């Protein structure tokens, strides 16, 4: 029998590719989803561009407001690139 404690959670990573101009809108969507722990931006050849750690349980609206200067800088940087890989580290909130 596999029992989990209340504090135990499962994380997994997924990766999507988006056009440079879509990066900011996609990150806003991910932050509002609420179960994202970290967002990592990489070039198509896997060079790290930026990593955004997100606090679990943070109010999505507040996080977007706090990240707005970062998102503006990301938008300017990503606009120079044709494609960007976004790695999303999510937490499993089903057991909570």
Alpha-carbon distance 74 to 49, whole Å? 9
Contact assessment for residue 5 and residue 50, using Cβ atoms and an 8 Å cutoff: no
pLDDT digits (tens, 9 = 90+) for 29-82: 887 777 788 889 888 889 998 888 876 545 444 555 566 777 777 777 776 777
Alpha-carbon distance 87 to 60, whole Å? 19
Please give the model's pTM, rounded to 2 decimal places: 0.68
pLDDT digits (tens, 9 = 90+) for 2-28: 445 455 678 889 998 988 778 888 888
Structure tokens at 84: 């960007």
Q: What is the number of alpha carbons within 13 Å of residue 71 lying toward its C-beta?
A: 16
Residue 94 has pLDDT above 70, yes or no: no
Q: Shortest CA distance to 15 belongs to which of 94, 67, 90, 80?
A: 90
């Amino acid at each position: 029998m596999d029992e989990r404690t209340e504090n135990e959670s499962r994380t997994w990573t997924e990766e999507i590719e988006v056009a440079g101009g879509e990066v900011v809108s996609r990150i806003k969507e991910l932050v509002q989803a609420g179960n994202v722990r970290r967002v990592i931006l990489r070039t198509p050849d896997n060079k790290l561009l930026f990593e955004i750690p997100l606090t679990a349980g943070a109010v999505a609206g507040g996080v977007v407001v706090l990240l707005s200067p970062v998102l503006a800088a990301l938008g300017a940087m990503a606009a120079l690139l044709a494609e960007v890989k976004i790695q999303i580290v999510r937490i499993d909130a089903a057991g909570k």
